[in-house]
Amino acid sequence: MGQELEPQVSDYEARVRASFGRQRFMEMIGARLVRLAAGEVEIELPHRADLTQQHGFVHAGVVTALADTACGYAAFTLMPAGVGVLSVEYKINLLAPARGELLVARGRVLRPGRTLTVCAGEVFARHAGEESLVATLLGTMMTVRDRPEIAD
């Protein structure tokens, strides 16, 4: 990429962690924010039978939510204070069944922007210490300004 990603606020890590803590869906499914850096986020989800579809794989909706959330927070690490982040579009490719002990979603910023930020996400299934790629996501995240109900 060759581009240095610079956060606009020094407390970006605390802001991301606080916002993630308000994500009730992520809390409900048991996802954990495990790593973040400027322009990058990693989320883990232990396998749960109640999140599977009829064949026993983690449901595609859950896989998609993990990738989308990782990308959104990767974008948020680079945004200024007093704004929120929302997904405005994404395309996901489901490459393999999501089976394993743990799902790992990694989001990273490809191109930051003042209003729109393009991100890439990958979801891996970890089984017996080995990771296999199960999904890729390309998404656009929007910086939401002038919305007092959005807390960062």
What pLDDT does residue 4 have? 76
Count CB atoms within 10 A of the CB of residue 48: 11
Q: What's phi and psi for 47, nearest 5 deg?
A: -60, 135
3-state secondary structure (DSSP) of residue 76: helix
Q: For the chain, what are the domain ranges?
A: 12-144
What pLDDT does residue 3 have? 65
What pLDDT does residue 147 have? 65
Run means of pLDDT, 10 residues per run, the chain, 152 residues: 77 95 96 97 97 96 98 97 95 97 98 97 95 98 78 52
What's the CA gap between 96 and 119, in Å, rounded? 21
Distances 40 to 80, 149, 151 between C-alpha atoms, Å: 16, 26, 21
What pLDDT does residue 146 have? 77
Domain at 12-144: CATH code? 3.10.129.10
What pLDDT does residue 1 have? 43
Estimate to the nearest angstrom the gap between the alpha carbon of 30 and the chain centroid: 14
